[in-house]
Chains A and B, each alone.
Chain A
């Protein structure tokens, strides 16, 4: 079965510093990986995806993610954090078991950026 794990419940970073939110995956076959962000009382907003190609994927709001096949990781990164980046971040993997496309999410990581 496909799965993702987000080992950190919360990540704290100072504004202006680089941030990393970790995600590891377990899949059979080639992974289709996603990052979503959720602000309070809001739905999920798509940030970026990896399907194939370059291991460094660029997404919305200055975020990027690095796909590492040997470490089965897909960490989310940003060179300089903003207070407004504070939110809940979810890593997800596409699962096509049964012939249809659904997302399997991690438990989420809360990012807190301090001024």
Chain B
């Protein structure tokens, strides 16, 4: 069984740039959720994808967007980066309707 993987591990961008983060879900999982973990805080829910559609979203602006592909992998895109976007971005996969989510190692994004 393959766990959740994310790429890249680290990323440095400047304000105003755009970034794409990638996630491969655990084998057999059809739902992907993205979370933002700012330094010293707990993870905050960004959005969730199921069957290639966004089916739920947290309190994040539209410049945060995503995709899910037929193989259930996913991308998180952030446009017009701001300094406050600096955080660890976590991807989690699960089976729809089941509470347990399995997390990837995260992507550390630094915005300068």
**What are the nearest 8 A-B pairs in CB distance?**
A105-B42, A100-B56, A44-B103, A43-B103, A43-B105, A94-B99, A102-B45, A32-B99
Contacts of A102 in B (CB 8 A): 33, 45, 48, 56, 58
Given the complex, which residues of B lie within 8 Å of A99, measured CB to CB?
55-56
The count of chain B contact residues (Cβ–Cβ below 8 Å) is: 31
Some 28 contacts from A to B, beta carbons below 8 A apart, are: A34-B99, A34-B100, A43-B105, A44-B43, A44-B103, A45-B103, A46-B100, A46-B102, A90-B42, A92-B42, A99-B55, A100-B55, A100-B56, A101-B48, A101-B97, A102-B45, A103-B33, A103-B35, A103-B45, A103-B99, A103-B101, A105-B44, A106-B42, A107-B40, A107-B41, A107-B42, A108-B40, A108-B42
- The yes or no answer to A53 lying at the interface (CB within 8 A) is no
Check if A108 sits within 8 Å of B41, measured CB to CB.
Answer: yes
